[in-house]
C-alpha cells in the first residue's frame, strides 16, 4: 500500500508498528537527518552520532506505544530519546572530547565553501567554523544541549523543553548561559592571534 507523503507522524508510526516497512522508511527519512545533526553536534563524533541515531529508531520500533501524541510531536519525542543516548555516551567519555574534522553529514575534512572568496578568506572562515564547533563541544552538556537544540537545530523553546525533559524556563536560562559562555570562549580565541602578533 502506498503512503501519501503528508501522512502524519502518529499515523505512520501506527502503521509501522503493524509491520508496514514503507511507513517506517518515511518516518526514518523525515527525522533521521535532524537526529544525526543533534547527536553529531552534541558528541563531536560521526561514529557516535550514527550509533545514537540507530539506537533512537530501534527504541522507537521496539516500543512504539510509548509515544503519546497528546504530550508533543514525534520529533520532540525522538529528540528526548536521542538526548538520553547522548548523555549516556558523554558520561562514558573522558573529560576531553576530541573534535573531528567532519562535515555535518560525517563526511570529508570540512565544509567547502563555494564562493569567489580568496583562498586566505576560505582558510580563515574554515578556521573560524572549527573554533565555533570546538567551543560548542567545550560547553557543559546542559548548556551545549540548549544551544544545539535552539540555535543550531532551530527548535522552539517548547520543542526544546520537551526534548530535554525540563520546563521552558530552564531551557531559556540554559540557552542564555550557554550563549554567554560561548561568546566568552570565542572572544578569548579571537584575542589569541592579536596577543601573539603583539608579542612579536
Whether residue 28 is contained in a domain is answered as yes
- 123 or 191: which carries more pLDDT confidence? 123
Determine, yes or no, domain membership for 55.
yes
pLDDT over 70 at 74, yes or no? yes
| Set of cell numbers at residue 149 | 537544540
Please state, rounded to an integer, the average pLDDT across all residues of the chain.
79
Cβ atoms of 78 and 60 within 8 Å: the answer is yes
Q: Which pLDDT belongs to residue 67?
A: 87
Q: Considering all CA atoms of the chain, what is the largest pairwise distance in Å, rounded to the nearest integer?
A: 71
Q: What is the DSSP letter of 151?
A: I
Predicted pLDDT of residue 163: 85
- Report d(CA 149, CA 38) in Å as an integer: 7
- pLDDT, tens only, 45-58: 899 999 999 999 99
pTM: 0.59
Decide if 104 is inside a domain. Answer: yes
Q: pLDDT band at residue 103, thresholds of 50, 70 and 90?
A: low
Number of domains in the chain: 1
Residue 99 has pLDDT above 80, yes or no: no
Angstrom CA distances, 1 to 30, 37, 96, 196, 199, stand at: 19, 31, 49, 66, 71
| Confidence label for 44 from pLDDT (cuts 50, 70 and 90) | confident
What's the whole-number mean pLDDT along residues 97-114?
Answer: 49
Residue 79 contacts by C-beta under 8 Å, 6 or more apart in sequence?
34, 35, 38, 149, 155, 159, 160, 162, 163, 164
Give the mean model confidence (pLDDT) for residues 59-83.
Answer: 87
Give the CATH number, domain containing residue 119: 1.10.1740.10
**Count of CA atoms in the C-beta half-sphere (13 A) of 9:** 18
Residue whose cell numbers read 537527518? 33
With vertex at residue 173, the alpha carbon angle to CA 168 and CA 174, rounded to the nearest 5 degrees, is: 95
The domain in which residue 59 lies consists of: 9-199
In a domain, 4, yes or no: no
**Residue pair 172/157 in contact by the 8 Å Cβ criterion:** yes
> Residue 114: is its pLDDT beyond 50?
no
Task: Assess if residue 1 is contained within a domain.
Answer: no
Amino acid at each position: 500500500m502506498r503512503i501519501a507523503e503528508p501522512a502524519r507522524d502518529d499515523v505512520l508510526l501506527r502503521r509501522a508498528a503493524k509491520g508496514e516497512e514503507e511507513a517506517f522508511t518515511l518516518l526514518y527519512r523525515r527525522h533521521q537527518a535532524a537526529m544525526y545533526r543533534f547527536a553529531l553536534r552534541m558528541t563531536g563524533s560521526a561514529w557516535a552520532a550514527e550509533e545514537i541515531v540507530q539506537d533512537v529508531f530501534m527504541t522507537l520500533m521496539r516500543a512504539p506505544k510509548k509515544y503519546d501524541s497528546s504530550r508533543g510531536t514525534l520529533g520532540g519525542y525522538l529528540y528526548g530519546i536521542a538526548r538520553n543516548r547522548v548523555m549516556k555516551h558523554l558520561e562514558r567519555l573522558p573529560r576531553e572530547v576530541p573534535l573531528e574534522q567532519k562535515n555535518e553529514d560525517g563526511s570529508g575534512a570540512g565544509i567547502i565553501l563555494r564562493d569567489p572568496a580568496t583562498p586566505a578568506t576560505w582558510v580563515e572562515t574554515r578556521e573560524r567554523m572549527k573554533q565555533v564547533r570546538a567551543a560548542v563541544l567545550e560547553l557543559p552538556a546542559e548548556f551545549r544541549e540548549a544551544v544545539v537544540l535552539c540555535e543550531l537545530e532551530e527548535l522552539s523553546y517548547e520543542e526544546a523543553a520537551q526534548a530535554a525533559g525540563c520546563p521552558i524556563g530552564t531551557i531559556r536560562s540554559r540557552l542564555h548561559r550557554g550563549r554567554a559562555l560561548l561568546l566568552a570562549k570565542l572572544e578569548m580565541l579571537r584575542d589569541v592571534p592579536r596577543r601573539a602578533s603583539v608579542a612579536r
